[in-house]
Amino acid sequence: MPGAAETVGPSRLALVILIGLASTAGGAEREPTFGGNSRRLPAIELVTLSGRRIILPDSGSGPGTLLAFAFRRQDQSLIDSWLPWVERVAATGCGFYEVPLLGPSVPRFLRGVVRAGMRTTVPRQLHLHLAPDYGDIDRIAKALGLLDRTTAHIVLVARDGRVVVLAQGRAEEARPDCC
């Protein structure tokens, strides 16, 4: 497995994620640890652009869920760099959601406008997989260890919420942190 400081190409990173999926599907007893602490995704209730209500990690399918988190609109190109091979991960039965972390800074009365803007700019086929979060983004960032808010984060989460693989940035330049 690559170390946290090693940069890997997208094919190798996909392999790391698929191996992580295999370990979650096999019911691995050992939890991944990061600096001595186990990372878990806290329960997050979201609504996709298609209107489907989901609760993560419970709404995930298969052995786990691949999540793309971004704190800033300008990080969309980083997330888009992951999309070409997300289908490979989805073929394992893993769910996928893109979660823009907008937080409570978007007032409730403007959320409909923001949502409508997203629905018009995001291709329709992605509406089921895009779920903006207006909740406590600090809680999510702290639980997952998303310290750098200037980049996108890709997180593979087991059905029980354990973080299996965490990577950040562009797919071609990602540095996975995994068990």
Is residue 4 a part of any domain in this protein?
Answer: no
Asked if omega into 123 is within 30° of 0 (cis), the reply is no
Which pLDDT belongs to residue 15? 53
| Higher pLDDT pick, 3 / 43 | 43
Structural domain for 141, as ranges: 10-178
Is residue 3 a part of any domain in this protein?
Answer: no
Is residue 2 a part of any domain in this protein?
Answer: no
| Higher pLDDT pick, 88 / 41 | 41
Angle 117-100-3 from CA coordinates, rounded to 5°:
150
Mean pLDDT of 71-88: 84
C-alpha distances (whole Å) from 164 to each of 8, 27, 65, 134 are 17, 12, 10, 25
- Percent of the chain whose predicted confidence (pLDDT) is above 70: 74
Which pLDDT belongs to residue 57? 87
Angle, to 10 degrees, between the axis of helix 83-90 and the axis of helix 10-25? 30
> pLDDT tens digits for 152-164?
999 988 888 899 8
Question: Locate tokens 């979650």: which residue?
Answer: 24
Q: What is the mean pLDDT of the chain?
A: 78
Mean pLDDT of 83-104: 84
Is residue 14 a part of any domain in this protein?
Answer: yes
Is residue 1 a part of any domain in this protein?
Answer: no
| Structural domain count, the chain | 1
Q: Maximum distance among all alpha carbons in the chain?
A: 47
Q: What is the CATH number of the domain that holds 43?
A: 3.40.30.10
Is residue 5 a part of any domain in this protein?
Answer: no
Which pLDDT belongs to residue 118? 92
Tokens of 56: 């993560």
Cβ–Cβ under 8 Å, residues 134 and 45: no
> pLDDT tens digits for 6-35?
444 445 555 555 555 555 444 443 333 333
> pLDDT tens digits for 117-155?
999 998 898 899 999 999 999 999 999 989 899 999 999
